[in-house]
Structure 1
Amino acid sequence: MGGEERSEKTRRVVFVTVGTTCFDALVRAMDSENVKKELLAKGYTHLLIQMGRGSYVPTKSEGEGSLSVDHFTFSSSIADHLRSASLVISHAGSGSIFETLRLRKPLIVVVNEDLMDNHQSELAEELANRKHLYCASPQTLHQTIADMDLNSLLPYTPGHATPVANHINRFLGFPDD
């Protein structure tokens, strides 16, 4: 059993997305040692952070026995990143949530508590209550990762919720995602 062969088979990527927003609290939480430690303990090997308009730049790292960390600001499409992820950690934007659930990827939604009138948290909390995803804040993220049991999540059956959610977002003056 060669080391290269084994590492290729066990590559487990955590993809983090903040969409087009600035959500430095999430990026900072992902860069914290306690979150990285919990991800390693759960068997994840790579952390890829899409940091959007934020100003906080996470620490890149590669190394044996530690989480490999990389980041970028924007991509024309995050679909490939979502497809290759073993776990997705996302802001509470409805587009990001439903795209991840449609791909049947395990998801932790982190609510941006700094937003006023954050209706997105209601969507995330409702989907968490239905056991389709986990919901956390930047402060509770490490504990959510430690406690999560991905086998307890139920698949989401796509309906026509995304157009409705986007309509509500536009009505309230929020971007679609």
Structure 2
Amino acid sequence: MSCVAMEEERVKKVVFVTVGTTCFDALVKSVDSQNVRDELWKRGYTDLLIQMGRGCYIPSKISEEACSLNVDFFTFSPSIADYLRSASLVISHAGSGSIFETLRLGKPLIVVVNEDLMDNHQSELAEELAERKHLFCATPQTLHQTIEAMDSSSLIPYQPGDAMRVAMEINKFLGFPAE
């Protein structure tokens, strides 16, 4: 079967990559690598959309392979909510906003930790949520292996906590009447 026929048969499955407002060229380069693109294609993904933030590295829209992902990119958007909603897979930096917004939508998520950051508290969050099986965790160097090994059915949906009890305790401590 030709690549054109394969592409026409495929259901559109978008991988959305976000680095937030930072510069995380290592992540953009990693998803732009041929082995990551090939692995995503093998898993049935059709499109790769990269939000590249303040980075300098420009991903290639052209692939070396005949059968390949459709690739596009942009720097910033007022909101990435629509991109997250339409994604079949999200690959994100370890920013808590991006992580929790994706988890609330129930999307499979690979969080890529930026090891170049000093005192990287973000990696602690990503590793804890990966340990709880809410997401997959990788580095730019291990992204290909993470995609290759991931099984989205093994993920446990994230259930946001109920902050009402905490608010009631704070109100009680401050002397506000109970409702």
Please report the TM-score for the alignment, with normalisation by the length of structure 1.
Answer: 0.84
Aligned residue for 2:40, secondary structure, equals helix
Aligned residue for 1:69, secondary structure, equals strand
Superposition deviation, residue 60 in structure 1: 1.2
Superposition deviation, residue 65 in structure 1: 2.2
Equivalent of 2:109 in 98, 107, 110: 107
Aligned residue for 2:17, secondary structure, equals strand
Superposition deviation, residue 158 in structure 1: 1.4
Given residue 76 of structure 2, which amino acid in structure 1 is its aligned partner?
F
- The 4+ residue runs of structure 1 with deviation greater than 2 A are 6-9, 61-65
1:27 aligns with 2:17: no
Contact 1:27 1:49 in 2 (8 A): yes
Residues in 2 aligned to 1:38 and 1:130: alpha-carbon distance in whole angstroms? 25
Contact 2:134 2:158 in 1 (8 A): yes
1:52 aligns with 2:53: yes
Q: Percent identity?
A: 74
Superposition deviation, residue 153 in structure 1: 0.3
Aligned residue for 2:116, secondary structure, equals coil
Unmatched runs of 5 consecutive residues or more in structure 2? 164-179
How has the CA–CA distance of structure 1 residues 31 and 9 changed in structure 2, closer, same or farther, with 3 Å as cutoff? closer
Superposition deviation, residue 27 in structure 1: 0.2
The aligned runs of 1:1-177 (5 Å cut-off) are: 7=8, 10-61=11-62, 65-159=67-161
Contact 2:10 2:46 in 1 (8 A): no
Superposition deviation, residue 8 in structure 1: 8.0
1:94-150 CA-partner distances (Å, limit 9, x unpaired): 000000000000000000000000000000000000000000000000000000000
Aligned residue for 1:89, secondary structure, equals strand
How has the CA–CA distance of structure 1 residues 9 and 38 changed in structure 2, closer, same or farther, with 3 Å as cutoff? closer
Aligned residue for 1:61, secondary structure, equals coil
Corresponding pairs, count? 158
Contact 2:111 2:137 in 1 (8 A): yes
Residues in 1 aligned to 2:8 and 2:96: alpha-carbon distance in whole angstroms? 34
Superposition CA RMSD, Å: 1.9
Unmatched runs of 5 consecutive residues or more in structure 1? 162-177
Please report the TM-score for the alignment, with normalisation by the length of structure 2.
Answer: 0.83
Aligned residue for 1:20, secondary structure, equals coil
Residues in 2 aligned to 1:56 and 1:91: alpha-carbon distance in whole angstroms? 16
